[in-house]
């Protein structure tokens, strides 16, 4: 465990070093920020140097020589003095008289030289970046975006989640992983609780947590069992073997039938109620003395000679039932038991139930229509039969009258 934790720590440290910006990256970011502040918001290194992004080394060198001559501090100083003197002469030439040009002040010249020196230094840095291996990094950042300065370092501007995204993330974290951790802790606590009660009951009943004291003649049976086993095998007849096989086949058939029918009468919570399950046939067949002890919470526990611990409860009718306490019967939690998995299933069932409820009235109406049409047909048939029967009776009466008249004649 310690070795794996140490490996994880080393990998995390190496990942931090790999993910951090290098010295060259920081230099690129700083020069870019200076260009944006001094030259313009959309000025790139190529624009500042005066070349295209796909320029080769020769084009970059030529553009650098040309630009460095323009930004040299001495040349900028001379051109600044000449331009300022020429501008003063133009402004004052409009008025008559003789005027003397004073030229720029020392402070103005110093500011111009300082600005030219800074631009020349930035030009040298940009040229070195584009002529060296750092050009690939700069092209990479131009393609994928530059990080911004955020007080402590350069970071990318990530997506800012809204209220819905935050609530969804909290639901997944706390309703998924948090709920699963809580279920696991509860599962372990239940196992410890039941194991402690079982040990306490065995010790109170037989004086031993393993309940060896409740098995009478343990040593004698242990010594006699190996000798009796061959004799029992010898006494087993072929008829008994055939009977055992027949019973086994019958049991298999019954199990298949039960599996096909399904557990209709069983509870929906699955196998095992968590802390106690009804007594199985194998446990119930254990013969031997039993002892009743009281648990710490006042419950009655029954301990048999094999060490099985039962919880005795009395129903409303006064019937006493025993439930076996088994640590392995406590269901182990799974991720499907968390709210993240159960909530969508619950919503899905609710939607299907609403659809079924909406379909039931329509089916009832259709059934009513069918009943009405059937009733109408039945009534029509009865009317037809009545009319036909009345016509037939009238015809028979007329024939009888005719016959009587003929007899009189």
pLDDT tens track for 163-216:
888 888 899 999 999 999 999 999 999 999 888 888 888 888 877 666 555 555
Query: CA 134 to CA 114: how far, in whole Å?
Result: 28
- Most confidently predicted of 73-77, 153-157, 199-203, 334-338: 334-338
Predicted local confidence at residue 306, as pLDDT: 78
Tokens at 76, concatenated: 């900028």
How many residues does the structure list for the chain?
A: 409
- Tens-digit pLDDT profile for residues 238-288: 555 555 566 666 777 777 777 666 554 444 444 444 444 444 445 555 556
Which of 341, 328, 349 shows the shortest CA–CA distance to 180?
341
Confidence of residue 86 (pLDDT cuts 50, 70, 90): low
Predicted local confidence at residue 178, as pLDDT: 92
8-state DSSP, 174: I
Tell me how many degrees the CA angle 191-197-202 measures, rounded to the nearest 5. 125
Predicted local confidence at residue 185, as pLDDT: 95
Which of 308, 313, 327, 311 shows the shortest CA–CA distance to 206?
308
Q: In this structure, are residues 269 and 263 in contact, taking their beta carbons and an 8 Å threshold? A: no
Residues forming beta bridges with residue 300, ordered by sequence position: 294, 312
CATH topology of domain 20-92+102-158: Helix Hairpins (1.10.287)
Tokens at 43, concatenated: 């000025």
Tokens at 108, concatenated: 């103005």
With a cut of 90, say whether residue 41 has pLDDT above it: no
Query: Phi, psi at residue 155, to the nearest 5°?
Result: -135, 150
- All CATH 1.10.287.110 domain ranges of the chain, comma separated, are 20-92+102-158
Tokens at 159, concatenated: 């997506």
Which of 60, 70, 175 shows the shortest CA–CA distance to 126?
60
In which element (H, E) is residue 165 found? Answer: helix 163-172
Predicted local confidence at residue 154, as pLDDT: 66
Predicted local confidence at residue 271, as pLDDT: 42
């Amino acid at each position: 465990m310690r070795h794996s934790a140490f490996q994880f720590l080393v990998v995390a440290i190496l990942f931090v070093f790999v993910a951090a910006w290098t010295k060259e990256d920081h230099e690129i970011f700083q020069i870019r920020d200076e260009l944006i502040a001094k030259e313009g918001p959309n000025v790139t290194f190529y624009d500042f140097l005066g070349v295209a992004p796909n320029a080769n080394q020769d084009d970059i060198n030529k553009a650098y020589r040309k630009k460095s001559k323009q930004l040299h501090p001495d040349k900028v100083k001379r051109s600044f003095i000449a331009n300022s003197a020429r501008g003063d002469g133009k402004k004052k030439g409009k008025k008559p008289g003789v005027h003397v040009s004073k030229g720029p002040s020392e402070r103005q010249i110093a500011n111009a030289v300082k600005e030219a020196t800074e631009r020349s230094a930035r030009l040298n840095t940009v040229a070195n970046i584009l002529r060296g291996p750092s050009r690939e990094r700069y092209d990479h950042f131009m393609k994928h975006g530059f990080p911004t300065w955020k007080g402590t370092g350069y970071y990318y501007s990530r997506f800012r989640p809204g209220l819905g995204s935050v609530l969804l993330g909290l639901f997944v974290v706390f309703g998924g992983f948090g709920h699963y951790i809580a279920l696991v802790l509860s599962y372990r606590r239940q196992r410890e609780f039941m194991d402690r009660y079982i040990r306490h009951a065995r010790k109170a009943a037989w004086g031993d947590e393993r309940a060896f004291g409740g098995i009478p003649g343990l040593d004698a049976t242990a010594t006699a069992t190996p000798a009796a086993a061959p004799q029992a095998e010898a006494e087993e007849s072929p008829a008994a073997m055939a009977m055992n096989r027949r019973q086994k086949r019958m049991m298999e058939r019954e199990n298949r039938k039960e599996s096909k029918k399904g557990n209709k009468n069983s509870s929906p919570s699955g196998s095992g109620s968590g802390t106690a399950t009804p007594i199985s046939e194998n446990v119930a067949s254990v013969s031997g003395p039993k002892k009743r002890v009281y648990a710490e919470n006042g419950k009655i526990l029954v301990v048999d000679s094999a060490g099985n611990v039962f919880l005795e409860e009395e129903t409303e009718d006064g019937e006493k039932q025993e439930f076996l306490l088994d640590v392995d019967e406590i269901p182990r939690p799974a991720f499907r038991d968390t709210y993240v998995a159960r909530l969508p299933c619950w919503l899905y069932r609710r939607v299907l139930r609403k659809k079924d409820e909406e379909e039931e009235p329509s089916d009832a109406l259709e059934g009513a229509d069918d009943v009405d049409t059937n009733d109408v047909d039945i009534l029509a048939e009865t009317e037809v039969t009545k009319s036909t029967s009345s016509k037939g009776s009238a015809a028979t009466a007329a024939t009888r009258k005719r016959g009587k008249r003929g007899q009189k004649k």
